[in-house]
Structure 1
Amino acid sequence: MSLRHAVLGLIVELDGASGYDLMKLFELSLANVWSATQSQLYGELAKLTADGLIEVAAEGPRGRKEYRATAAGREELRRWLVEETPKPAQRDGTLLRVFFLGQLEPEQARAYLRDRAALMEERRDELAVLQEQVTWGEDNLSFYGRLTMEYGRRFFAMRKEWAEWAEAELARRSSPAAAPGGDEGDDGGDDGGRA
């Protein structure tokens, strides 16, 4: 996904919006899936205007401009939705660090994973609070915004659960019972071959 199509899509959905309106909507609804700074957003508005995909529909006080999509802009949004296949994210700083956690002491590695679990819980909770603050309607932005927000909540919940699992795996691996020559937790009972 590109910022270009995120901005264009919002302008089409809103049937016109100012840069300020778009920035607020990004912070409220899209920051979870695609973030943008103010300078990036206004730069993209200028490019979309230059490319004929949006136009200034009205100008107000203090240089406020309201943009609307042109027919070419609506067609470009449809083309992007139908013809372009999204590329999966291929970089994950968290997992890259996990790959090298063996370079730390086990307790440091476990602390990293605990911190990640706590951060994911915090982000999931922030989305829950945000979901309660939004006045949802039955318009497209509300309906599909709820779908997107629910994805974010589930994503953070999954990452939290994974970090907790990974920390438990590391704890099990670094326990004396798991060391070579340890008793592997054998309590002398017969478990019938179950792990």
Structure 2
Amino acid sequence: MDSLNATAATLLGFLHSGEASGYELVAIAEELVGDFWTVTRSQVYRELAALAERGLVTAGNTGPRARVPYLLTEAGREAFAQWIITPPGTEQIRYPLLLTIAFGGHLDRDRLLCHVDHHRTVHQQRLKTYQARLESTGIDAYQRATLAFGIRYEEAVLAWMDDLPAILGPPD
């Protein structure tokens, strides 16, 4: 059997909890992994069709709003089990603000720091969201571990932003 890509495996992982439509899977992805893994609507529908063709999910009858529920098959469970035991690749940071800062010598310092302040607001909100989720009931140890990483990441980014004016040095 062909190996799964990360998006396909993510969908199979979500379907372990029960049937879901593409629309519902997009919402689940956004809530559970959206801050650290991108899954687009078009990817979800493309992957669901491919997974159904491979017999890893079955498509149910079209329901309200033309939504099709998908259910994980035994072959899908086996494919996911093979994927999850494979060591994950290393991460690659893709942070647009860092790219702008890398070329910051071509930008007015005040504008650059304005961009940083905009991002600070986003990271402060994410930190609050993660902290609130961590306090909620019904999350398992793995979700708790993921949230703990998110909290530490956001705290590190915010600390770096606090240090950034000193790192950049005095204005020219």
Q: TM-score range by the shorter chain?
A: 0.7 to 0.9
Matched residues, percent identical? Answer: 26
Inter-partner Cα distance in structure 2 for 1:143 and 1:17: 23
Shift of 1:159: 0.9
Inter-partner Cα distance in structure 1 for 2:7 and 2:114: 35
Shift of 1:118: 2.8
Matches within 5 A, 1:38-117: 38-56=41-59, 58-59=60-61, 61-62=63-64, 63-117=66-120
Inter-partner Cα distance in structure 2 for 1:85 and 1:27: 21
The 3 A distance-change label for structure 1 pair 169 and 84 is: closer
Q: Say how many residue pairs are matched.
A: 167
TM-score (norm 1): 0.71
Shift of 1:45: 1.0
Contact 1:19 1:65 (8 Å CA) reproduced: yes
The structure number with the bigger radius of gyration is: 1
Contact 2:109 2:171 (8 Å CA) reproduced: no
Which shifted more, 121-130 or 28-37?
121-130
Other structure's SS at 1:107 match: helix
Q: List alignment gaps of at least 5 residues for structure 2.
A: none
The 3 A distance-change label for structure 1 pair 105 and 27 is: closer
Could you say which residue in structure 2 is the equivalent of 1:18? 21
Could you say which residue in structure 2 is the equivalent of 1:159? 157
Could you say which residue in structure 2 is the equivalent of 1:8? 12
Shift of 1:90: 4.7
Inter-partner Cα distance in structure 2 for 1:38 and 1:106: 37
Other structure's SS at 1:36 match: coil
Q: Which amino acid aligns with 1:174?
A: P
Q: List alignment gaps of at least 5 residues for structure 1.
A: 177-195
Contact 1:116 1:160 (8 Å CA) reproduced: no
Inter-partner Cα distance in structure 2 for 1:147 and 1:167: 32
TM-score (norm 2): 0.79
Shift of 1:72: 2.1
The 3 A distance-change label for structure 1 pair 74 and 163 is: same
Contact 1:116 1:163 (8 Å CA) reproduced: no
Contact 1:18 1:66 (8 Å CA) reproduced: yes
